[in-house]
Structure 1
């Protein structure tokens, strides 16, 4: 099956070979074969020189000169960008989240969008459970104290005696539930999709309303996509409804949590702690860095060797298929 497309006019100089931007970083460290696959297409590869998430201006600059495909991270792709860089015909996401890509604008502009939906799921789930244990047992606080010359033996929670609330029982949330089972904790979940009920039963997870979950859970972990419905989901009212001393984990998307409300809940003492891998603005340099009861990581949920390899290979295969005129795997638009 062919994936036909019609080239659009572009008055910038175009390389004789198709040009591919690798915006995602790191890329090729976990999967050198992904780079080999891209090079085998004969494409000219353009790498992210900033070694971090690109700003809009940086992305526009790197896409200049007739770039046809982008191996994308979470930098923004919207209608204005598609209009400004009409040579771009494929956005191949390394990961599952598509909130950084305006899918309707891509469809209108004739831009193909793909993702590697399953590739990061195990990696994010493992990091989530690791953060839950580290937060419940004050691991990071003890480490900081010891490095500062203080010997602090802190008493934390045993997960077996607690209730963990999973908001979103999809690819990642269901894996978190599976990994938590041996700890012996009570596991409850909320999902707007009633179709997850068989999955919940198979995992031994109790489905609750969101209000019930907030009342019951000692630890709340977020695993929802960023949509208009979930943007700002965890606001002051959400946090106030949690049990006193509850812990919050976010390895989903930063804007799901109102960071000002989170800071206020921590400083008031109502929230016992938080662990965040994602933020409204990344790289993050906000006031949460000064909070002792917060663990912060640099959007590295997918960054396991196997997870990165699967994502990089998936995106590279999408680009290779596109350049050869074949059906693009993982295509969503």
Structure 2
């Protein structure tokens, strides 16, 4: 009989359908009782006799998997796979699935919101008002800005679609594969990352975390950027070197940043001491509709596995190619 461990937090709070699916399968399941992201050791200690893991962003390492001899499926709630050791999963015969489409609408909309917030110093004005200080801040508008987008996958493309409505002065795109169909307007063009660094007023990141993107933006890249550049990261922690980001913000090279993701979460670092760094708690996908869709899709995938049906959201082979 299958046993299902659900580690993602939250789960089933806004929509009971994932719970109803599990109940209909007559399987034993347990939902994360700690109520937060698990550490590697915490997950290792509780996973030993489960056959299916419905997972969040906790580290699913070889050590964890080797302590789970019955584990057959990791059904990831979300799109990121940097927390799953895919090579070990492949070596140990554990299938991995994810929900790549569900988070995109919510993450892209939050990205636009964060852009506007730092462009107009909304977070600083809010803090000032709560402290009893009436200060008005000069801001900037999209029509006067060159926006750089690094990563044009599901989320990056949606961000581009939203930005088209703001009539940006120019939008620069960079990715491994250039899709020229999405750069048909004369103010949108494909360039290399170095051109984005040196020409953009605001840079937004939408790429996965892997060996080639870890600390992609460090001191060298920040030095290439315009003075008073703005940065937004709603993709993955670890893509921007957090120490160099802090230094850039503290020295004024970077005017402001909006960061939703961190190398270690929950985040307790120095960026929280800077007014010009808007930080949020990895909440890009946290809208009721997108979060519910992610949970339902991950649970439905677990149900297919239990019924012996073909997985519809299995991680594609190209994700394993560089392992």
TM range (shorter): over 0.9
Alpha-carbon separation, structure 2, partners of 1:123 and 1:203 = 28
User: Which sits farther off after the overlay, 168-177 or 34-43?
Assistant: 34-43
2:6 maps to 1:26: no
2:32 maps to 1:48: yes
Alpha-carbon separation, structure 1, partners of 2:297 and 2:182 = 26
| Cα distance, 1:202 vs structure 2 | 7.3
User: Which residue of 2 is the match for residue 8 of structure 1?
Assistant: none
**For the Cα contact (< 8 Å) 1:28–1:312, is it kept in 2?**
yes
Indicate which of 216, 227, 246 corresponds to 1:233. Answer: 216
2:160 maps to 1:177: yes
**For the Cα contact (< 8 Å) 2:40–2:61, is it kept in 1?**
no
1:86 to 1:201, Cα distance in 2 relative to 1, 3 A: farther
User: Which residue of 1 is the match for residue 270 of structure 2?
Assistant: 287
**For the Cα contact (< 8 Å) 2:74–2:96, is it kept in 1?**
yes
SS in 2 for 1:174: helix
Q: Once the two structures are superposed, what CA deviation does each residue of 1:197-238 show, in whole Å capped at 9, x if it has no partner?
A: 223337963111111111211000000001111001010111
Paired residues for 1:5-20 under 5 Å: 17-20=1-4
1:318 to 1:203, Cα distance in 2 relative to 1, 3 A: farther
TM-score, normalized by length of structure 2? 0.95
Q: Once the two structures are superposed, what CA deviation does each residue of 1:263-290 show, in whole Å capped at 9, x if it has no partner?
A: 1111111100100000010000101100
Alpha-carbon separation, structure 1, partners of 2:186 and 2:204 = 17
SS in 1 for 2:149: strand
Alpha-carbon separation, structure 2, partners of 1:35 and 1:328 = 20
2:147 maps to 1:155: no
1:300 to 1:236, Cα distance in 2 relative to 1, 3 A: same
SS in 2 for 1:183: coil
Paired residues for 1:171-210 under 5 Å: 171-185=154-168, 186-194=170-178, 196-201=179-184, 205-210=188-193
Q: How many residues align?
A: 315
Alpha-carbon separation, structure 2, partners of 1:320 and 1:202 = 44
| Cα distance, 1:141 vs structure 2 | 0.3
TM-score, normalized by length of structure 1? 0.92
1:32 to 1:205, Cα distance in 2 relative to 1, 3 A: farther
Q: What do you get for the CA RMSD once the two structures are aligned?
A: 1.3
SS in 2 for 1:299: coil
Indicate which of 153, 156, 167 corresponds to 2:150. Answer: 167
Structure 1 unpaired stretches of 5+: 1-16
Alpha-carbon separation, structure 1, partners of 2:134 and 2:308 = 62
Structure 2 unpaired stretches of 5+: 317-323
